[in-house]
Structure 1
Amino acid sequence: MSVVSLRNEGDVAVITVDNPPVNALKHEVRAGLLDAFKKAGADANVKAIVLNCAGRTFIAGADITEFGKPPKEPGLSEVIATIENVQKPTVAAIHGTALGGGLETALGCHFRVAVATAKVGLPEIKLGILPGAGGTQRLPRLAGMEKAFPMIISGDPISAKDALAHGIVDEIIDGDLLAGAIAFAKKKVAEGAKLVRVRDREEKIADLKANPDKFNDIIAANSKKNRGEEAPVVTTEVLRGAITKSFDEGLKGEREGFMKLVVGDQSKAKRHYFFAEREAAKVPDMSKDVKPKTVKKAGVIGAGTMGGGITMNFANAGIPVTIVEMTEEALNRGLGIIRKNYENTMRRGGISQADLDKRMSLIKGSTDFNDLSDADLVIEAVFEEMPIKKEVFAKLEKVTRPDTILATNTSYLNVDEIAATTGRVPNVLGMHFFSPANVMKLLEIVRGKNTSDEALATAIDVARKINKVPTIVGVCHGFVGNRMLKARGIEAESLLLEGALPQEVDAATTGFGFPMGPFAMSDLAGLDIGWRIRKAMGQKSEIFDSLCELGRYGQKTGSGVYRYEGGSRTPIPDEVTEQIIVNASKNAGIKRRPISQQEIGERLIFSMINEGARILEEGIAMRPSDIDVVYVNGYGWPVWQGGPMFYADLVGLPYIVEKLEGYAKESGNEHLQPAALLKRLAAEGRGFSSLGVSPIKKAA
């Protein structure tokens, strides 16, 4: 069956795209649209044309699997030019989402109608590119630059109601969309409506054309830190062309900008991540017949920062949740913080009072474990201490149903050891949320050696329902994310001892694209957390133990690695810290030296890549791209750098091996010696992307 069909409904031609699942604009769709519009345009019996789509959505964008491949004619620009030159009313009937090339196609029509639930947008910038089929030139003419600029530069879609208010959509259709679109088209024919192409509409940009400097005000009103991203810079100048150039010249500039970006490393990185996120939850050794358990009610142990955030996720998704604390005081404090978080969101316009009331009504507070007796899933979020967690799981086994799935939110600890506390080991796994848990997207799902497929499938299903990005990892200290972060932390501290200062290490990190450096991040989280963990494990750190012994825990005490004045969150380099570092170097017998930003940056990033290679060697992650998903979603790795393992391939593994060996020799740090997998791949001229997917190895 053809992916594009043409039929006549009286004197209205109906062109339907049917390319499941999202009607992407692959070659066959483009060719079909071109042919159908040419035929309908030439048919004397046709007075108007309606473009609609089968399935759950309008055209949701280009087929990005075609990016980087030799182009096949016709291109989308040719299709749109054909559509907009039809001398009959053309109407795009939008449901679901009209995104990217889908919205650009709709902009080629004279009119657009939509159902109230539809959304439209140009999200190309999220893939490191820009709209390449006239979106940057047509949307400002239709909606005005004040609306078009933030839509394009953010990539965020808008609602049909918002689109109607700004002239992007001409009418909201109640009831049957296609019938409404046909009626709309017939009305335009009966009215003898003037057919004006979007490209020829200039009334909404006339003021900017007369005063181009005002464009800078629009840029300023929508400015954000791009931290080295190329696409926003190129897109901004292409949008400027919409007011400083003719339409055709602007279109040429758009195409040049698109071609520049699409072959660049940043776009390749973002496209890699787009697919990596969709693969991360796929488990190759799990039967497709396995069905997740339906979670009708959840439970959370602990009403602290993490437990409260986890609880909010369930309430946000409409799932009743019971949160249990040891004392009424702790419980009421936790529930109060949850309510305050919702009130803050309401003040920002994110939710209504009705939403707040509904979500709070789904949350039941308790100090009695027995109130979890009917829960389908319980997540423990208590202190990161093994004896406490074992005690909690022993209680949960007694009060919950035998089929209840029990999950630990541990960041580091052995999930198999926790599971052994119970008599239902197959129903135990890790669900490691990231703080703040109601905001951060990543969920590391830790598969124990005996975790059942049903429990694993349920955790994945729940993650999706509560709007998280699930990534499956194996059991080891720190799993994937924190294990690699620890490797970076070791290197960061080594750099301090060898001669670097905290602000130099943090500058190299933010220069790479991270939102914060390791030491500013430690101050934000609290240095006392790491101090407590080190003491529990019998470990020491002269620099950070000394800071903690002085009561310097970070931002919350006004000083940590840095000093913070007047309640400000801006870190100020501090002489006390620097003297502690110098003393630590002296006590370790290390002669301090100047260290370049290149060396600092490479040692931090390459040490993480090296640990990632060890994680893959040990079967703790199924795919290199899973590690990328963990780091982009959970640790602020810039998506335009693709993730640690993608970045490693980009830099070249032979270079990384050479530099690690050199840094290991110079510093004497054995942990910098390249992992066996890293060395092997480099010797074979391969990258991490050449590795296939492997099931999580289940530790003995």
Structure 2
Amino acid sequence: MNTSPAVLTARHGDVLVATVQNPPVNALSAEVRRGLLAAVDQAESDPDVRALVLVGAGRGFIAGADIREFGKPPLPPALPEVCKRIEACGKPVVAALHGAALGGGLEVAMAAHYRIALADAKLGLPEVQLGLIPGSGGTQRAPRLMGVEPAIELMLGGRHLGAREAKEAGLLDGIAEGNDAQAAGLAFAADLLRAGVGVRRTRDRAMAQDIDAARAALREIRAATAKKTRGLFSPLKIVEAVEAGLDLPFEEALRNERQLFLQCVDSPQRAGLVHAFFAEREVAKAPETKSAQPRPIASVGVVGGGTMGAGIAVAVLDAGLAVTMVERDEASIARGRANVAKVYDGLVAKGRMTAQAREQVLSRFHGSTSYADLKDTDLVIEAVFEDMEVKKAVFAELDRVCKPGAVLATNTSYLDIDAIAAGTSRPQDVVGLHFFSPANIMKLLEIVVPAKVSADVVATAFALAKKLKKVPVRAGVCDGFIGNRILAKYRQAADYMVEDGASPYEIDEAVRGFGYPMGPFQVSDLAGGDIGWATRKRKAATRDPRARYVQVADRICERGWFGQKTGRGWYLYPEGARTGTPDPEVLAIVDAERERAGVRPRRFGAEEIMRRYLAAMVNEGANVVHERIALRPLDVDVTFLYGYGFPRFRGGPMKYADMVGLDRILADVREFAQEDPLFWQPSPLLVQLGAEGRNFDSLNRAAAD
């Protein structure tokens, strides 16, 4: 037996087993890489060893790169060197997989001569999600094992294959029964030795049986990828690396892959995507989750069966929990039940769910017109109309009927949750759970923490988010919390630009060009213009009389044009179309409002549109952090990545500001303040960081410490 800090080797008869031990996920640290090289050397130098088995300790094989090494100078040996050494071994090498074999972990497995897996194995090359390509032979070995098209699909999609699918794709030689990967690897190696089978190197396989057909397929994939991943850097590099493998000798193709990999490492997109990766993991670390244990949740109530309530119910049902939905009358509960069933009917129609599975899920759904049916429920989520008096009435009923210790949550998008909690006898049990529509699909969940809520209730909300497979962000109480408060500011900046001369269609086009899937006026039409209109009317009495107010959106709503659901809003949607077309009548309304306001319109280019749009966003984001509505800048980033369509490759608005420079953002805010000093007030935090030569990431690091 020999040991290294992260790889343990032990003889089992004439087979050497090398076990990766780098908890929690056996990431490919420098110590692991050194240990793997040493294991191959040991196997080759020992005449009594006839085969080598690679296996991972704990819950998986190797889950990929060691994220602790991200952004640091590379430590030898490099993973390509390790993979080449494994493949060059003169004795059979078997990779015995269980759990995660992802990224570099799968590249190690593909460099082995044979691969066996337990049924729980998950295989994938998800580097594209970090703005990278597989850089240790993945773009060359995967096509040789799977075929060019399936391999590219795996790399571009970033998804994980289960063991059975991986076996059918050609990545695995077999699937073993049981739950002992080492035993499976030893049994497979013994079979090889009995059969007298030697090494079988992936590099010796042909990249494609029909090179011309592969080239034609790659041309189509390249065109589709360019369209689908518009603005992204690494996806086309994957195609380029695979394509080179059709022409170059294997070693040259590996060198080309490495050059392309390093180009991706140097891309700003990689910095944005890596930040998004880390930030998503950090947001779950709220103070309350460290100080308190969550309450048990086995059943959930939902008050309200509209679009949002039904979406929440589906999300909870999908998590395996029982749901009781309460509505005001039988007709309303029937609509709510139909809204829930419609989601599962769609899955059945698409072949993604069996009719039997649909019935099993819906058996956990119960509708009622009586609050009394929530008396034993562990957690209740209110999802009724966005009106304070309506919500207070609901919470009065919940306070009356729910058992002690039940968590009472509101799905309000804007309203004061402290005021809602104050209307109950148990403010310690009241929390905000702000879902985003459609609630069963959108991953963001703002967990809004009122002043008197207990820490264990907040911890329960985070535990529920995990169960629902949501990305939770802790938010403080203010109008709109994190996301909608910032949205109100940059939407206001967009409205100002419309009145000053930009058309809503030019603004939407500029925002899409930045990387958003939709512009703000398209989003308004999708959500329903009446929602924003109701908010503006609610806040009219408290609006600063000195503040500029653009009335274009009000004029559109006064005509009953609320967007897609009414067939027109900012855009026209003829015959139920999902994609709108510009509306000349909207432009006429804009012209009339400019004339009424005495504005002489001027031209706006896409660059200026985005400067103003993002300056408003970042400045208000800084205010949200300064006021502790968001704990850290990364909480703002995650909110906008998962709830508002901010392009992931830019990392979020605060990371984007760091990348372009806070001095530039602050200079823009100050320049625009010369036109409107009331709206464009520089955030105190932005000013402070600029004076100190620091950025938002310094605050993230300080919070982590």
Range into which the TM-score falls when normalised by the shorter chain: over 0.9
SS of the equivalent of 2:341 reads helix
Q: Following the alignment from structure 1 to structure 2, what is the Cα–Cα distance between the partners of residues 218 and 582?
A: 45
SS of the equivalent of 1:378 reads strand
Contact 1:649/1:689 (<8 A) preserved: yes
Q: Does 1:271 align with 2:274?
A: yes
Q: Which runs of 5+ in 2 are unaligned?
A: 542-548
Q: Following the alignment from structure 1 to structure 2, what is the Cα–Cα distance between the partners of residues 45 and 224?
A: 56
TM-score, normalization by structure 2: 0.96
Specify whether residues 546 and 675 from structure 1 end up closer, same or farther in structure 2 by C-alpha distance, changes over 3 A only.
Answer: same
> Match for 1:201 among 198, 205, 214?
205
TM-score, normalization by structure 1: 0.96
Q: Which residue pairs with 2:407 in the alignment?
A: 405
SS of the equivalent of 1:407 reads strand
Code of the residue aligned with 2:41 in structure 1: it is K
Code of the residue aligned with 1:642 in structure 2: it is G
Q: Following the alignment from structure 2 to structure 1, what is the Cα–Cα distance between the partners of residues 186 and 30?
A: 27
Q: Which residue pairs with 2:616 in the alignment?
A: 607
Contact 2:52/2:92 (<8 A) preserved: yes
SS of the equivalent of 1:24 reads coil
Q: Does 1:572 align with 2:581?
A: yes
Q: Does 1:683 align with 2:685?
A: no
Q: Which residue pairs with 1:44 in the alignment?
A: 47
Q: Following the alignment from structure 1 to structure 2, what is the Cα–Cα distance between the partners of residues 417 and 438?
A: 28
Contact 1:442/1:634 (<8 A) preserved: yes
Alignment of 1:116-195 (within 5 A): 116-175=119-178, 176-195=180-199
Cα distance per residue 1:286-305 (max 9 Å; x no partner) = 47452110101111111111
Code of the residue aligned with 1:479 in structure 2: it is F
Contact 1:663/1:672 (<8 A) preserved: yes
Contact 2:289/2:459 (<8 A) preserved: no
Mean Cα deviation higher: 521-530 or 135-144: 521-530
SS of the equivalent of 2:218 reads helix
Q: Following the alignment from structure 1 to structure 2, what is the Cα–Cα distance between the partners of residues 694 and 374?
A: 43
Q: Following the alignment from structure 1 to structure 2, what is the Cα–Cα distance between the partners of residues 536 and 67?
A: 47
> Match for 1:339 among 330, 338, 341?
341
1:214 shift after superposition: 3.2
Alignment of 1:247-646 (within 5 A): 247-284=250-287, 286=288, 288-538=290-540, 541-646=550-655
Q: Following the alignment from structure 2 to structure 1, what is the Cα–Cα distance between the partners of residues 533 and 446?
A: 24
Contact 1:281/1:471 (<8 A) preserved: yes
Contact 1:543/1:581 (<8 A) preserved: yes
> Match for 2:238 among 235, 238, 263?
235
1:668 shift after superposition: 2.4
Contact 1:419/1:428 (<8 A) preserved: yes
1:496 shift after superposition: 0.6
1:693 shift after superposition: 7.4
Alignment of 1:73-112 (within 5 A): 73-112=76-115
Mean Cα deviation higher: 96-105 or 66-75: 66-75
Q: Which residue pairs with 2:676 in the alignment?
A: 668
1:221 shift after superposition: 6.4
1:132 shift after superposition: 0.7
Q: Which residue pairs with 2:28 in the alignment?
A: 25
Q: Following the alignment from structure 1 to structure 2, what is the Cα–Cα distance between the partners of residues 28 and 136?
A: 25
Alignment of 1:50-89 (within 5 A): 50-89=53-92
Q: CA RMSD in A?
A: 1.6
Contact 2:291/2:455 (<8 A) preserved: no
Specify whether residues 343 and 326 from structure 1 end up closer, same or farther in structure 2 by C-alpha distance, changes over 3 A only.
Answer: same
1:222 shift after superposition: 6.2
Cα distance per residue 1:306-331 (max 9 Å; x no partner) = 11111111111111111111111111
Q: Following the alignment from structure 1 to structure 2, what is the Cα–Cα distance between the partners of residues 108 and 289?
A: 45
Q: Following the alignment from structure 2 to structure 1, what is the Cα–Cα distance between the partners of residues 317 and 289?
A: 31
Code of the residue aligned with 1:362 in structure 2: it is R
1:281 shift after superposition: 1.8
SS of the equivalent of 1:307 reads helix
1:72 shift after superposition: 1.2
Contact 1:433/1:442 (<8 A) preserved: yes
Contact 1:622/1:694 (<8 A) preserved: no
Contact 1:276/1:625 (<8 A) preserved: yes
Q: Following the alignment from structure 2 to structure 1, what is the Cα–Cα distance between the partners of residues 105 and 700?
A: 33
1:405 shift after superposition: 0.7
1:245 shift after superposition: 1.9
